[in-house]
């Protein structure tokens, strides 16, 4: 079976595109277990939306895994063998899902929470069905949460949703989780300093495109005859949104002490109280020179490793 005519466009979104001009698809899968090579999908749910938070469409379909659903898994998502006995298999559901993704016409950005898990099951389904992976790149909102809120200890969907006051009445059902993910994503990217472009978003939490392959537990893959295209797999170094520079520049001008969250040095990701002195480039990198009140000495901080800047 080949890809359907309504499959997503062959060109991924322009990295310089503003997020307000992009269509997003938050998706979630419920499965029979944790390993894409040996387990199967039982439900796919997704919501299409824009940066304004407008819901543009939904997809929700049960999938017959062709095998019994383990009791311990049923206790998590509540989907039983009786629910899926008359459902279509993954080979029939996936083309409909790809059609639905492609309905918007514009190159979409897909997202999932702990995206490697969902990407693994979709990729395995594509491979088994002989389907071509779509061009749409995928971002991981767990990574995004860790980048945007590095001082938080948990980045589970449940805790992220609670942090932003997002209600998820049917947790562990695919569409409900996808809707919760949409709300969490919007809160994260709009949190000052706002993420403004597709390229910034990719650098923060991009996972590359979906691939029609079955990943094995030891890290190997069984690759299909064709794979999707998307942003290059080479990871680009994280560049902070413009607001970070503005906050530091203002602090330098007013000699204001600020709180930064810095991802580097012996402390790892940690908050520091600093009085910025200047911004200087060295060896192609931009550094903040500041008096560190935490360590009581002058220090240098690479600006691309500063995750947050707030006034005291």
As annotated, the active-site residues are 172
Residue with tokens 């001082």: 151
CA gap 250, 248 in Å, rounded: 5
**H/E element, 93:** helix 90-102
Residue with tokens 């059902």: 173
CA gap 194, 106 in Å, rounded: 23
CA gap 183, 179 in Å, rounded: 7
Identify each DSSP E strand in the chain by its residue range: 23-31, 41-49, 55-62, 108-112, 137-140, 206-209, 213-215, 221-223, 258-263, 269-282, 285-292, 297-302, 306-311
Backbone angles phi, psi at 207, to 5 degrees: -115, 5
| CA–centroid distance for 122 within its chain | 15
Question: Which of 212, 173, 166 lies closest to 187, judged by CA?
Answer: 166
């Amino acid at each position: 079976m080949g890809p359907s005519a309504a499959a997503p466009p062959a060109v991924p979104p322009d990295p310089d595109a503003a997020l307000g001009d992009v269509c997003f698809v938050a998706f979630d899968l419920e499965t029979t277990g944790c390993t894409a090579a040996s387990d199967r999908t039982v439900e796919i749910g997704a919501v299409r939306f824009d940066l304004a938070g407008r819901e543009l469409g939904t997809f929700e379909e049960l999938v017959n895994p062709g095998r019994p659903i383990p009791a311990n898994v049923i206790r998590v998502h509540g989907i039983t063998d009786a629910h899926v006995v008359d459902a279509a298999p993954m080979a029939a559901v996936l083309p409909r899902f790809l059609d639905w993704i492609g309905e918007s016409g514009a190159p979409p950005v897909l997202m999932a929470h702990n995206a490697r898990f969902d990407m693994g099951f979709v990729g395995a389904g594509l491979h088994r069905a002989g389907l071509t992976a779509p061009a749409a790149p995928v971002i991981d909102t767990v990574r995004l949460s860790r980048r945007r809120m590095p001082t938080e200890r948990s980045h589970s969907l449940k805790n992220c949703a609670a942090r932003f006051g997002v209600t998820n009445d049917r947790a562990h059902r695919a569409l409900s989780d996808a809707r919760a993910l949409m709300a969490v994503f919007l809160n994260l990217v709009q949190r000052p300093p706002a993420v403004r472009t597709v390229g910034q978003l990719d650098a923060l939490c991009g996972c590359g495109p979906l691939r029609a392959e079955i990943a094995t537990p030891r890290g190997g893959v069984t690759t299909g005859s064709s794979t999707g295209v998307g942003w290059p797999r080479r990871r680009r170094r994280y560049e902070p949104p413009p607001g970070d520079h503005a906050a530091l520049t203002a602090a330098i001008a007013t000699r204001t002490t600020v709180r930064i969250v810095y991802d580097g040095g012996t402390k790892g990701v940690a908050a520091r109280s600093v009085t910025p002195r200047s911004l200087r480039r060295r060896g192609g990198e931009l550094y903040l020179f500041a008096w560190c009140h935490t360590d009581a000495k002058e220090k240098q901080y690479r600006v691309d490793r500063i995750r947050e800047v707030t006034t005291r």
